[in-house]
């Protein structure tokens, strides 16, 4: 496998790893709010998250920032909780603008990127030029996120068209369930 392929698959696997379900929860609750017809707006949000994630990964890899791991591990479930609340509150309103959502996704991406920075730095080891691996890894992240987005949008279509479930109802259910998971994650991380 090429160096590009190795890092791409590492990024892809990182997002879809059930052991690190915090990213899956975040992408799920971010995606569920959007109707499948608004996939372009959703793509902008997912890319904003990737940009934030990529930026802090790069800054950490080059030792420009040194995030406190314990603090970041607590902040990650908080980003999910905030997104759940925002999604529940806005579930009855159509998505018109993505400006606030875009900012939050970018900012929360910064936090999520810091959460993985220590492991990525150890994986990179003494790479002379980490630009290529970072780029490949982040492309893999984006691809993994898009798999989640497509799955959620397909399930949304099935729920709405086949089962005739109103979007606001399943958005509330999914966001509430993710809120519960993120709340437990937060409590575990605080008590560690």
pLDDT at 13 over 70: yes
Residues with Cβ within 8 Å of 140's Cβ and at least 6 positions away in sequence, in order, are 7, 8, 9, 10, 11, 12, 13, 14, 15
Least confident of 21-35, 89-103, 142-156: 89-103
DSSP 130: T
Residue 127: pLDDT band (50, 70, 90) is: low
Report the pLDDT averaged over residues 130-158: 93
Angle at 46 between CA 44 and CA 176, to 5 degrees: 120
Residue 18 or residue 186, greater confidence: 186
Of 192, 187, 174, 191, nearest to 78 by C-alpha is: 187
List the domain boundaries for the chain.
3-191
pLDDT at 104 over 70: yes
Whole-model pTM: value is 0.92
Helices (H), the chain: 3-16, 21-32, 39-61, 69-89, 99-124, 131-157, 167-191
Task: Give residue for tokens 């437990």.
Answer: 184
Taking only the tens place, the pLDDT of each residue in 152-186 is 999 999 999 999 999 999 999 999 999 999 999 99
Structure tokens at 70: 């314990």
């Amino acid at each position: 496998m090429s160096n590009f392929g190795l890092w791409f698959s590492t990024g892809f696997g990182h997002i879809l790893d059930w052991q690190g379900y915090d990213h899956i929860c975040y992408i799920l609750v971010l995606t569920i709010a959007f109707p499948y017809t608004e996939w372009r707006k959703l793509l902008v949000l997912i890319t904003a998250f990737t940009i934030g994630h990529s930026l802090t990964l790069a800054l950490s890899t080059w030792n420009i920032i040194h995030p406190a791991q314990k603090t970041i591990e607590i902040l990650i479930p908080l980003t999910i909780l905030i997104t759940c609340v925002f999604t529940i509150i806005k579930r009855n309103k159509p998505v018109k603008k993505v400006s606030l959502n875009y900012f939050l996704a970018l900012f929360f991406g910064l936090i999520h990127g810091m959460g993985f920075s220590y492991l990525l730095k150890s994986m990179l080891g003494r790479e002379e030029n980490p630009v290529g691996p970072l780029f490949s890894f982040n492309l893999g992240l984006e691809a993994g996120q898009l798999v989640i987005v497509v799955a959620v949008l397909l399930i949304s279509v099935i729920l709405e068209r086949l089962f005739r479930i109103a979007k606001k109802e399943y958005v509330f259910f999914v966001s509430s369930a993710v809120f519960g998971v993120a709340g437990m994650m937060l409590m575990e991380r605080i008590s560690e």
